[in-house]
Amino acid sequence: MTKLSVNINKIATIRNARGGDVPNLVKIAIDCQEFGADGITVHPRPDQRHITTQDVYDLKEVVNTEYNIEGYPNERFFKLLQDVRPEQATLVPDPPGVLTSNAGWNTLEHFDFLKETISKITDLGIRTSIFIENDQNLLELAAKTGVDRVEFYTGPFAEDYPNDPNKAIAPYVESAKICKDLGLGINAGHDLSLENLKFFKENIEGLLEVSIGHALISDALYFGLENTINMYKNLLN
């Protein structure tokens, strides 16, 4: 079964727009898990425009499923991992100030850095994943870094899906086969939605986990959080 990790960055964005503690991020995380989410994902960016450093610590006390912390592996990120010890750390190549994670790692250019970083995180007892695009060479190099999983950047799939679903999914099907041969676990995220998730899941062999935030939280405005999580879970099951 493919797990659903709910990214709650957007909840923090709404809270931060007015200050204070409404909506309450801790309660949202508790509710998401009670409603069926298999994990909680956060991406604490340096400018703290949504998830703050304190949020990362506060959520550790209530996440009893899988805690996935995304981010660029700088000194601040390592400090959070050392203190919190989440179940998974997902490394993204975001430069400071970027709006959203919209590109994967160039594992050729950053191979030594990633290998050293992943080794340090593994020593903390944390499962590792790196954000990556569809390229056989990059995937093969990813496997050599010692990473446990890769997270497919699914932005291009979501963009092309309305025009030609089979064409949109084809590169990911090939990448999934490569990952299977390399012994890499597969996660996926970015612009997966109620419209395209079922098709993606049905075509990607070995899909272990999807991390969904923007679309899921947006859908919850119409359907309610509990109903929305159940809708996404049904597509994965």
pTM (2 d.p.): 0.94
Q: Is 190 a catalytic site residue?
A: yes
| Measured CA distances, 226 to 6, 28, 169, 222 (Å) | 12, 11, 29, 11
Q: Which of 66, 151, 190, 209 is catalytic?
A: 190
Q: Distances in Å between the alpha carbon of 207 and those of 96, 111, 149, 186?
A: 30, 24, 10, 5
Can you list the residues of the chain whose pLDDT is less than 50? 99
**Is residue 214 flagged as an active site residue?**
no
Per-residue pLDDT at 144:
98
Q: Is 110 a catalytic residue?
A: no
pLDDT for residue 10: 96
Q: From the candidates 70, 133, 151, 209, give the one annotated as an active-site residue.
A: 70
pLDDT on residue 95: 61
Q: Which domains does the chain have, with CATH numbers?
A: 3-236 (3.20.20.70)
